[in-house]
Chain A
């Protein structure tokens, strides 16, 4: 896929692969739908210098089971990257580029300390994603509340949406002080919601994992580093949505046709792509 407008700067997205990551294909595809040029790059290619982080605008820590999720989801991925390409990552952040962590990638970001990134400290581990309270891996679509006050560049215009979650270790945990600080800073980007549109207040399965403050995703204070447990890339087509056959039938009865606009998943990624286009 190519850029819709050749005048635009091409936005280059690096999607990590290897070591058990497994959402790289659809994440790369979803970013292409969002107007970027995606490249799947093996973690070792980044370490060996075969690929150079500087050539990219958005770095995606995609979902999967890096290192089998042994010793804490995202922990060993963080160790490998920290031990090998720490400086390049800080430079990338310093250049004002974007980092997105989805599910296992979110877990890696918090273990790297790139999130929450209080006071520009991208090393301190202040928050954690730990085992779901339900005691098991869970696949379900969740309802999410966006935070209009958040500086997150990916979620501009998101008030309420739905994405699938698929994880065993998605319970967001931090000390009450840290949670308060995240709230005050507008760093809480997505919260799990109940069917009535209110926050889930911990109620299962709306809050599927027991996350503190129903937190499903946070960003750093700049809004340029964003991690979330739900998978926007798995909502890349309208037939991904669990209600699509019901919605289609309903639309048909009103003699309308289905709206083929971008899904919320692609819209979220496109916000990031558009940000880069505007900023660089």
Chain B
């Protein structure tokens, strides 16, 4: 008989969680709730005696100081009660740890069908709520129907004896696993099966696949193992390996590129090879610090002789868009497995985030699945729990609001790791599988999670079907595995390691057996979350927190003993061979037998038509804007813009100091509340070296030209790391593309050709700027279908495509962290310099956006001597001539002068007439133009000549000084004071939009 334990805070204790729900319900929906109290529920589906139940209640689940609990429903005053629990098969992390603790205390072992499930009861008071109101709180604030179920009780519905009832969300499949043979008699048949089963095979690949399985020699080999036509396991394997996600078919595609203004056409063959691979290989030859790129789960750069750093970036857009918390936590925890699976494994040392969402206060006609405000809350919390509970600092991040992301949000997650350069005398970045090595799966168990991702979302639910296609990452299980694998690595027990992410075992084993040239997998050995999975489901399941490791047989015992010590499940599920075959069996019967080199055979290249319409032809013009009447008011308005203003509330939810490595924090300045250009950590605690990191994205520039969007984003990320003391000669890059679908379709995607041209131009900028700056692309990913279909109030569907977006991440090694600097001005009397020239480049700027314009003059990067400028600045910082340094980014000089002043808590007197310009001839253009390549620097006046000497012919100008009067004073070109605002007022405006959030 299952038991239900209710636990709540003693009545006189403040219920912070309940208070937060109450505040959100009132703020978001305008309800007048008076209070919310929360009750935690454990539904214990374990055969226990009364005494045992009482023991776990008092010893584990009830804090005698703060809590009360009972196996009967607790009597708490309410007007409405909401109960929220998980659907079957959704990862219930606290449920698992509860079971673990019960086993520990009672010294029992749970039987396979036994478990503990957690859920919550909310007791709402006040507000004269109707059922609809209460249900709305459940639906739009507390639960997401994709992963959760809920009940609403009024006073009349509620029975104090039975409470919420006993709900056990257990998965029961009652299904006998079965392998299905797929007919391949014609292309049409196979295409039909592909659609029916959600295989997502590309029509162009189908003839290649068919001809392989119809080859006489193949048929004969297969017959020996009882196989004829391909099995579902085999086609799933091929489908996963050929997917755009795994194979980057779009980037490797053939583009027929046409410029509609000139009529010129050209053939662009393989963006990946020409814009990413070849330039990076060329730079690797020049820069010995580039250790390993383009093949592993993440890129590797040298930190010093003893250590390498490892970096990669991912996106987790679609899942986050459906279930923000689950998608985001799965994203961050998932990307952390990439460095863990790079080389022989690395320790995680830093995470970064980037969120692009619809306007937080959106109240338009369209109805996204989750309102941007709720979506952002969920994403923030998912990355918070994923990072904090992994013990990895999350010091850097960015948030961008734009209506284009209403259709699909973007969630960028970036992971940085550290590995010793040698492990037991062998290079740590190298790994291989060899015949005879055991295939070991470590970490979590296999369920129906993530299978066919989004296609599963449209399936209907029954009471016991697992809702596992949207997952909830489990940082606790992964942290245990992380610690275990590092210890195993250091003992030399790991020959090869990779993660199970997209494609699950199919990808990890498929790719790792390329090294040994074969494998035998016994699928029935894979530990399952519940019975009833088909063989193909075990093979492609994307259940999280799993790694695949190759271990030689002589190390098996030690590896398994370590695994046990760390309370991590590890299972031998097969071995690597040199048979040339991927061979999968289930209970001794072969269910897949495919040539390892089949995937290397010639699959047709994807092709795209790309048509570039230059901005003038699209009707974009430069608006004629008069100088603003109220210059100070305008500056305050810009500071309060959602994409400029303070987001301290997010930053402080992320542990940015764990590991004790923090050097330059995300928030800096006198009051420790202004956002730093970049962050620096000291990942090797007894070294004075540091790692600087920053990211940038400028998607609004895509409205004019994606070439400049990419160029400026790269430049911004570079300037950010240089501004804190990074070395411009050691900059590693990570490109993360998020693009709308570029395949032209007259009905569904009429501007597909234009979007394809935008992608070509973006890649060219990536190639050009990285070559000019000497940046190797250590890692990169692309997410190609950032479109959403939203209904409006009338039920009509609208397609919303995101702006083509590139997030660029930069890392740089700092040779001496004590030379690092922050962006806040430090002393009154210091001189204020602007490095670089300011052009008339307000196109797609924050300034134009504020007035509802796009414009034409998009900021353009003119690389030329910019690197020389950055090198000179770097020398000035190394010679300790600089008191503060801050790049000029979105919002332009005006906004960023204000930030430097706010950071220092000091005033500034600035003369615009002293700013070096090219074509910027009006005050507001100089103040708000977003020309790249510029910095604001303050220096001690006594350093003036040594500082200026370093810049010699490079563009630099002293434009004023820091003052003890805490006011920002800006004099116009006509040398009249045009802005004269106290710093406190600037900061108040900058903090106003989100200042109340904690």
Contacts and interface: CB of A to CB of B under 8 A. Distances in A.
Interface of A: 1, 17-23, 25-26, 29-30, 42, 44-45, 48, 50, 63-65, 67-72, 75-76, 79-80, 83-84, 111, 125-128, 130-141, 164, 166, 173-175, 210, 231, 233-234, 236-237, 239-240, 242-243, 245-246, 248-250, 252-253, 258
Nearest to A235: B660
A246 B818 CA distance: 12
Contact of A18 (B483, B657, B998): B483
Contact of B479 (A20, A70, A139): A20
B880 to A, nearest CB: 7
Nearest to A239: B663
Interface in B860-919: 880, 883
B63 interface: yes
21 contacts: A18-B483, A19-B480, A19-B567, A20-B479, A22-B479, A22-B659, A26-B661, A64-B391, A65-B391, A75-B63, A76-B60, A133-B16, A139-B654, A166-B388, A175-B65, A231-B657, A231-B660, A233-B660, A234-B658, A249-B883, A250-B827
A1 B66 CA distance: 43
Interface in B915-950: 940
A173 B655 contact: no
B386 to A, nearest CB: 11
Given A20-B476, A20-B479, A246 B824 contact: yes
B668 interface: yes
A22 B658 contact: yes
Contacts of B657: 139, 164, 166, 231, 234, 240
Contacts of B388: 65, 137, 166
A133 B9 CA distance: 13
Contact of B998 (A68, A134, A166): A134
Contacts of A234: 657-658, 660, 662
Contacts of A133: 14, 16
A126 B64 CA distance: 8
B567 A18 contact: yes
B761 interface: no
Most central of A80, A84, A137 by chain B CB within 10 Å: A137
A125 B64 contact: yes
A126 B826 contact: no
Nearest to A29: B685
A81 B539 CA distance: 39
A92 B941 CA distance: 60
A40 B20 CA distance: 38
Which among A25, A45, A125, A133 has the highest number of chain B CB atoms within 10 Å? Answer: A25
Contacts of B480: 18-20
B63 A72 contact: yes
B827 A253 contact: yes
Interface in B89-107: 93-94, 97-98, 100-101, 104-105, 107
Nearest to A204: B998
B445 interface: no
B656 interface: yes
Contacts of A111: 63
Contacts of B975: none
- Residue in B93, B479, B668 whose Cβ sees the most chain A Cβ within 10 Å: B479
A17 B682 contact: no
Contacts of B827: 249-250, 253
A125 B65 contact: yes
Chain A CB count within 10 A is highest, among B16, B483, B686, B824, for B16
B652 interface: yes
Contacts of B880: 252
Contacts of B66: 128, 130, 173
B818 A248 contact: yes
A246 B826 contact: yes
Interface string B562-582: 000111000000000000000
Interface in B646-698: 651-665, 667-668, 670, 672, 682, 685-686
Contacts of B661: 26
A131 B13 CA distance: 10
Contacts of A240: 657, 660, 662-663
B25 to A, nearest CB: 14
Contact of A29 (B14, B59, B652, B686): B686
Given A26-B659, A50-B565, A65-B476, 20 more contacts: A18-B480, A18-B483, A20-B389, A20-B476, A23-B659, A44-B567, A67-B101, A70-B97, A75-B60, A76-B101, A125-B63, A125-B64, A135-B20, A136-B653, A137-B388, A234-B658, A239-B663, A240-B660, A249-B827, A249-B883
B783 interface: no
Contacts of A243: 672
Given A29-B660, A45-B565, A67-B97, A242 B668 contact: yes
B817 interface: yes
Interface residues on B, range: 35 or more
A83 B100 CA distance: 13
A128 B653 contact: no
A135 B476 contact: no
Instruction: Among A29, A125, A248, A258, find the residue whose CB has the most chain B CB atoms closer than 10 A.
Output: A248
B476 A174 contact: no
B964 to A, nearest CB: 15
A128 B821 contact: no
Contacts of B392: 22
Nearest to B384: A137
A70 B565 contact: no
B433 interface: no
A245 B97 contact: no
Contacts of A50: 565
A236 B686 CA distance: 10
Nearest to A77: B101
A21 B97 CA distance: 14
A133 B476 CA distance: 25
A67 B476 CA distance: 6
B255 interface: no
A65 B480 CA distance: 11
B390 interface: yes
B565 A44 contact: yes
B283 interface: no
Contact of B60 (A64, A71, A131, A137): A71
B652 A140 contact: yes
Given A65-B476, A126-B65, A210 B565 contact: no
A166 B782 CA distance: 34
Contacts of B63: 72, 75, 111, 125, 128, 130
B33 interface: no
Contact of A166 (B65, B479, B655): B655
Interface string B598-624: 000000000000000000000000000
Contacts of B883: 249
Name which of B20, B66, B480, B821 has the most chain A CB atoms within 10 A of its CB. B66
B28 to A, nearest CB: 15
Contacts of B93: 68, 70
A250 B653 contact: no
Given A71-B61, A240-B660, A246 B566 contact: no
Contact of B105 (A25, A83, A127): A83
Contact of B16 (A23, A131, A248): A131
B830 to A, nearest CB: 9
Given A63-B658, A71-B101, A79-B60, A173 B391 contact: no
A28 to B, nearest CB: 10
A80 B60 CA distance: 10
B446 interface: no
A245 B904 CA distance: 11
A137 B651 CA distance: 11
Contact of B566 (A18, A138, A250): A18
Given A65-B391, A240-B662, A253-B827, A71 B97 contact: yes
B566 A68 contact: no
A233 B565 CA distance: 26
A237 B682 contact: yes
